[in-house]
Structure 1
Amino acid sequence: MGRIMGMGTQITKLLNLALVTAVLFVMMFGILPYSNVAHASETVVDNTSAELTGTWTTATANANYYGANYSYSNSGTGTDKIRWRPTITAVGDYSVYVRLPNGDTSRATNAPFTIYYNGGSQTYYINEQSIWGGQWVLLGTHNFAAGTSGYVELTDNANGTYVIADAIKFTQDVSVQSPGATIPWTTFEAEDGSTNGTVLSSVTLGNLAYEASGRKAVTLDAVGKYVQITSNRSADRLTIRYSIPKDTSGTLSLYINGVHKQDLSLNSARTWRTQTAVTGGYFRFYDEIIVTETISSGDVIKLQKDSGDTVSSYTIDFFELETRPAALTVPDGSWLSITDYGATGTDTSDDYTAITNTITAANSGNKKVWIPAGTYYISDQITVPAGITIAGAGMWYSVINKNIPATSVKKAFSLGDSDTIKNIKISDIQGNNRINGHEGIRLASNSTVDGVWLENTFGAGIIGFSTPNVIIKNNRVRGTFADAIHLARNTQFALAENNTVRNAGDDGMAMVPYDELYNYNNTYKYNTVENNYWGRGMTIIGGNANTLEYNVIKDSAWSAGIMLGVENYLNQPVDHNTNFLVQYNDVIRSGQTNNNSYSAIWVYGGIDKPLAGNIQYNHVIDEVKHGITLQGYAGNSVNVKYNTFEAPGPGGLYIITGLQPGYTPVVLDNILK
């Protein structure tokens, strides 16, 4: 069952009721859990088409009713009844919703809505006093036979003075592709395993638990302390997300089925960045280590602090299991290998010259560049001319270590127009600080980045300025010190799809203007962004007709999961953000408690700066404080509709903070669970 609200529990909080329309309060029992569905068919039965028994009166006094009016009856003993009977065209599971006008204190607090379905019935009690109209409230999902045998019935057997009846909606649900990237690994949260360590949990910014996945982690701080999980799959790669104290390094013991396998070498070199804005003065607590081990389903994987593990404490966030795919081979004779031009891949010598010479030869001979399996070091930026394809044996095999000093602000690869780079890994191996411009890949018009693993870049992972028609797909971006994926300055018709982002030092995926040049018609879809320690999960600042859809954003620590706004960017004015579309996204445990604006979804408007678009069909789950904030001049042209808010935090569905007069949003048909 889903989250159950007790009678009288307020789950929506309003700052200024005069500025809010159709915001939902609801108390209900027996809410079913969310699933990724779309509505294949929909039938609405209004009170004017319902079957009435006893005395019912129509009225229009309370606003936000459905259709022409609503009906009411004096509370009684159950003799007055109203039945909403749909004509079901096909047998199947249907979600049943109720819609009512605005509530008042004369209403029943336990109005009994009973669903009669194929094989049974179930009653749901609704507090009609606290309903704000215009919202469809999910009662439950049940199986209905074809025809007219199923129905919903409300009786007058309730407290209060009146029971109110308006409309019932029946929707047949079909499965759709889940939001987020397609992920080949399986994650096991440490806190869900077996441990004799300390389970940490927090929703307060600036500590180890808050930056962890699920806002929980396990600390091992004495010899013999352990955490273990049981594998449900085979794998040959194990990733551990961990934190150890600042300026320390040391080992941690790994056991499989009780047998000591290896001592993991851990360090804090890339963690504990100074940040005065958070309690304790630090953030970026976690790093990851990837371990090679053969693992079978049913194996018990244990991390334990043994006597030789001398670091004072180890905090474990999660285990991840994955099977490395087979290496790709050079496709045909149209490719030039960098090893034929002097690159080694088996030592730490500089391969910059060999790689650039290969690219030059490919450019003059109409060839492509092949990076075989191996680890290659570059001491300077690789600048690629237009029309070149660079590919490797796969992100697990062909590795470029960016050994460029932090004092030299350069990219690993600066692409030319219509270039493609794919199936490699790029890792920045120096420093622990943010340096804008020190990026992984700089895009160009019509360029493609496909199947690239980028990690620990001082600046952004993948960045584009005035780069129309770029494609960014199937990439992993980890531990960047700035935005993971960043499109700016008049970028149009770009697509970022099926990417995963973790532990970004600013926005996970952003669209922003520069020099008052805006982005248009770009789409981020089917991406997963998790564990940002700074910035937002996804951001659209300025522009027109930009879309975020079918993404998963979770555990965004510092700011909102999704931000839409016209805030000034880099001290430059932003004058519009129009026709944005934000739909079918899952936003999980995002936002923070220290700032009302930093909700799961944050919409920020400015005076005389058009802000317009639709926020619809999103699923906001277990937000840290607020489900959504509309702030400033976010108003008349922002539609918040058909969203589901599940397990709301202490702020609930928080709609308003400081909206200016005359800027009332359209908030309709949202569902709370």
Structure 2
Amino acid sequence: MSVDDTPLTAPTPRTSRRTRTAALVAAGVTASAALLGPAATAAPAPEDRPAASPYPAGTAGAELPFVSQEAESAASEGSAVGPDYTQGTLASEASGRRAVKLAAGQGVEFTLSAAANAVNVAYSLPDGQTSTLEVYANGEKLDRGIALTSKYSYVDTPWIAGAKTHHLFDNARLLLGRDLAAGDKVKLVATGETTVDVADFEQVAPAAEAPAGAVSVLDKGADPSGEQDSTQAFREAIAAARGGTVWIPAGDFRLTSALSGVEDVTLQGAGAWHSVVHSSRFLDQSGSAGQVHLKDFAVLGEVTERVDSSPDNFVNGSLGAGSSVSGMWLQHLKVGLWLMGTNDGLVVEDNRILDMTADGLNLNGTAKNVTVRNNFLRNTGDDALAMWSLNTTNSDSSFENNTVSQPNLANGIAIYGGRDITVKDNLVLDTNALGSGIALSNQKFMDPFFPLAGTLTVSGNTLVRTGAMNPNWQHPMGALRVDSYDSAIEATVNITGTTATDSPYGVFEFVSGGGTGKEVRNVTVDGAVIERAGTVAVQAETPGEVKFSKVTASGLGAAGIWNCPFPEGSGTFTLTDGGGNEGWDTTWEDCAGWPAPGGGR
């Protein structure tokens, strides 16, 4: 889901200034300007430091089976794209806000840092085009190339205020047919204009064997060539395997309608590179007795636009209690998992979710004790990972050790209401347009909604180039946002161990996104490291009080604090000093204007 405020009238900004404060305890400065006030021109991106991998090493994020390399860090005959944070541009949606544009005949060459026999490439083509990347291994042209298309890109969502044409990149994969070693070179040569962003190199295991006693979909008449419809064969195999395993061997299988009535069964493939199901609606059911286990195959859809009324999802509805989803490759769907009904105790782990036109995963109320961990998500068209407490509350559920890259319309991770929720050890990179890296929000969207309650634990997360200029608000959203949009924040919110690097604007934002001045309280921020931010460390826009301890900052572009609650007279925002804070003891005092990203980046 995405923030869709209507912008308010913007005042004329005054000359900006900043002052040094004696302590972090601040009497809230009342804004004379509207919260959704004056437009700021997005500044050029910071001079990012290219690295072989876009995903920094550390405890945060998923443990991935592949090694990613940025095209701009490789040897290239093409031209540089970016850096740029301007919504609707290629660079703004690229990993690291940079990529390489190749003309026909030009190439980009990667030197492998580990063994690999497969590659997945994030790329963009001009709208309406198809093309190919020819592949060379150590100078030898392979007999197979990577087919490219723009059909899944250039998504328009005019019903979402502030959304421009987005989803400019796509992913395509190829088994190389040979084993390469560290130090070997792989060159990708364009046959037509192609922008290359990232290449993921992987050593893919051979296709697995069927477990003993499994019911193969082939035994029920499924066609592994993908030419014939295998829907009925899958249904019969599921019915026959109740209490056991349905085996999906290596091959391509085409389903023309969704599966339902799935319970007490495992659907298992030979590996996500080998067992491929072509379906835009894989499982659609409102209820299940549970114990559904989906593992080790790919589901590739044909969703080319976002239609919110259509269940164009891998899972739509309920898997039932005690279920799991693991080892999946999900691509070209509207949503990976849109989970309603009963999903108590669900575990979603070790999956790749790519190129969704909307959310990667959304726990849409009733989720209890759900764990979502060690997943990789790239290029989602809305929130990559979300919990939305609609109809009933999500509770005791967690997002842990996930890597989220390039959500191109909304947030990396969003918690809309819910009780006793944990968001820990995740890595979020390169958010765009309407989103923060992490959002904790009481924006309800619809009723009945259950606001944040109990204790929210937000710990050990790393945010890289997150936050964006909101085109509706006409002001920036922080890397980590706490939003009392439709109701005050009354839950206990503990934010610990955050690392925020190269934030294009502010880092910690406290806001009532509806512009009604609802309070943010019971929040503590403890042990954060801020390295380079375009504007401020703390962006306070609504009344309340937050305690900060051991928060250190360097390379701030404007000041330490922007403290301007809206609406005028709604109250003050107090920053309480818990000790150990360093590097952000200045205040931006011009509440009529937003600081443009400064030289501190």
Same-fold call, TM > 0.5? Answer: yes
Name the Cα RMSD after superposition.
3.0
Paired residues in the alignment total 496
SS at 1:353 equivalent: helix
The separation in 2 between residues aligned to 1:228 and 1:530, in whole angstroms, is: 23
Look up the SS of the partner of 2:358 in the other structure. coil
After superposition, residues 208-607 of structure 1 pair within 5 angstroms as 208-221=90-103, 223-261=104-142, 262-275=144-157, 281-293=164-176, 294=178, 295-305=180-190, 309=191, 311=192, 313-333=193-213, 335-363=214-242, 366-402=243-279, 411=284, 416-435=289-308, 436-442=310-316, 443-461=319-337, 463-515=339-391, 517-558=392-433, 559-570=435-446, 572-594=448-470, 595-596=474-475, 598-605=477-484, 606-607=486-487
The verdict on how the C-alpha distance between 1:557 and 1:415 changes in structure 2, with shifts beyond 3 A counting, is farther
Distance 1:579 1:250 in 2: 50
The residue aligned with 1:111 is: none
Note closer, same or farther for the CA distance 1:240–1:512 as it changes in structure 2 (3 Å cut). same
Equivalent position SS for 1:642:
strand
Q: State the secondary structure of the residue aligned to 1:18.
A: coil
- Aligned residues of 1:410 and 1:437 also touching (Cα < 8 A): no
CA distance in structure 1 between the partners assigned to 2:528 and 2:140 by the alignment: 49
1:604 positional shift: 0.6
Deviations 1:147-176 (A, max 9, x none): xxxxxxxxxxxxxxxxxxxxxxxxxxxxx9
The structure showing larger relative contact order (alpha-carbon pairs under 8 Å, at least 6 residues apart) is 2
Check the 8 A contact 2:423/2:457 in 1, yes or no: yes
Tell me if the contact between 2:386 and 2:415 (Cα under 8 Å) persists in the aligned partners: yes
Aligned pair 1:195/2:76, yes or no? yes
1:188 to partner: Cα distance: 0.9
Question: Alignment partner of 1:292: what SS?
Answer: strand
Deviation digits for residues 87-137 of structure 1 (CA, Å, limit 9, x no counterpart): xxxxxxxxxxxxxxxxxxxxxxxxxxxxxxxxxxxxxxxxxxxxxxxxxxx
Cα distance change of structure 1 residues 488 and 474 upon mapping to structure 2, 3 Å threshold: same
- The answer to whether the Cα contact below 8 Å between 1:640 and 1:665 also exists between their aligned partners in 2 is no
2 CA distance for matches of 1:652 and 1:351? 56
1:653: how far off?
0.5
The answer to whether the 8 Å contact 1:587/1:621 transfers is yes
CA distance in 2, matches of 1:415, 1:427: 24
Helix, strand or coil: the match of 1:383? Answer: coil
Amino acid across the alignment from 1:635: V
2:72 partner letter: E
- Alpha-carbon distance change, 652 to 270 in structure 1, aligned in 2, over 3 angstroms: same
Once residues 340 and 468 of structure 1 are traced to their aligned partners in structure 2, the CA distance between those partners, rounded to angstroms, is 33
Cα distance, 1:576–1:535 mapped onto 2, change above 3 Å: same
**One-letter amino acid of the structure 1 residue matched with residue 109 of structure 2:** Q
Counterpart-to-counterpart distance in 2, 1:281 and 1:579: 36
Structure 1 residue 427: deviation in Å?
A: 1.3
Deviation at 1:195, TM superposition (A): 2.2
Take 2:204 and 2:288, find their aligned partners in 1: how far apart are those partners? 28
Tell me how far 1:574 sits from its aligned partner: 4.5
- How many Å separate the matches in 1 of 2:541 and 2:303? 43
- The answer to whether the 8 A contact 1:537-1:562 is kept is yes
Output the CA distance in 2 between the equivalents of 1:451 and 1:521.
24
- 1:651 to 2:535 alignment: yes
Cα shift at 1:607: 4.4
Equivalent runs, 1:6-45 vs 2, <5 Å? 17-19=26-28
**CA distance 1:555–1:608, shift in 2 (3 Å):** closer
Q: Distance in 1 between matches of 2:146 and 2:390?
A: 44
For residues 296-351 of structure 1, the C-alpha deviation after alignment (integer angstroms, 9 at most, x for no partner) is 3222322334xxx3x3x211101111011122212212x21111111121232111
C-alpha separation in 2, matches of 1:284 and 1:412:
28
Which whole-Å CA distance do the structure 2 matches of 1:615 and 1:301 have between them? 42
Give the share of equivalent positions with the same residue, in percent: 24
Give the CA deviation at 1:438. 1.9
Listed one character per residue, the Cα deviations across residues 349-375 of structure 1 (whole Å, up to 9, x for unaligned) are 111111111111122xx4322212211
Residue correspondence of structure 1 range 41-120 to structure 2 within 5 A: none
Aligned residue for 1:304, secondary structure, equals strand
In the alignment, is the contact (CA less than 8 A) between 1:214 and 1:555 conserved in 2?
A: yes
Q: Read off the aligned partner of 2:231 and give its amino acid letter.
A: Y
TM-score, length-scaled by structure 2: 0.76
- Report deviation, 1:555: 1.1
Q: Deviations over 1:375-418 (max 9, x none)?
A: 111111111443222212121222111166xxxx9749986412
1:180-211: CA deviation from partner (whole Å, max 9, x where unpaired)? 11101111101111223221111222100110
Q: Is the 8 A contact 1:434 1:459 kept in 2?
A: no
- Equivalents in 2 of 1:630, 1:280: separation in Å? 23
Query: Residues 510 and 347 (structure 1 numbering): CA distance in 2 closer, same or farther, change over 3 Å?
Result: closer
Contact residue 443 and residue 483 of structure 2 kept, 8 A = yes
Q: Distance in 2 between matches of 1:343 and 1:460?
A: 24
Contact between 1:513 and 1:569, CA under 8 Å: does it hold in 2? no
1:510 match: secondary structure: strand
Q: Aligned-pair distance for 1:501?
A: 1.0
CA–CA distance in 2 between the matches of 1:11 and 1:560?
28
Q: How far apart, CA to CA, are the structure 1 residues paired with 2:210 and 2:577?
A: 55
Instruction: Indicate conservation of the 8 Å contact 1:483/1:508, yes or no.
Output: yes
Whole-Å separation in 2 of the counterparts to 1:608 and 1:265: 50
Considering only CA atoms, is the larger Rg found in Structure 1 or Structure 2? 1
Unaligned stretches of 5+ in structure 2? Answer: 1-16, 30-48, 50-56, 513-517, 544-569, 585-601
Aligned 8 A contact 2:299 2:330 in 1: yes
Unaligned runs of 5+ in 1: 1-7, 21-32, 34-175
Q: What is the TM-score normalised by the length of structure 1? A: 0.68
Distance of 1:258 and 1:412 partners within structure 2 = 50
What whole-Å deviation, never above 9, does each CA across 1:206-234 have from its counterpart, x for those lacking one? 1001100001011123x453322222222
Cα distance in 1 for partners of 2:280, 2:60 equals: 36
Of 473, 476, 490, the residue aligned with 1:610 is 490
Distance in 1, Cα, partners of 2:286 & 2:330:
11
1:636 aligns with 2:521: yes
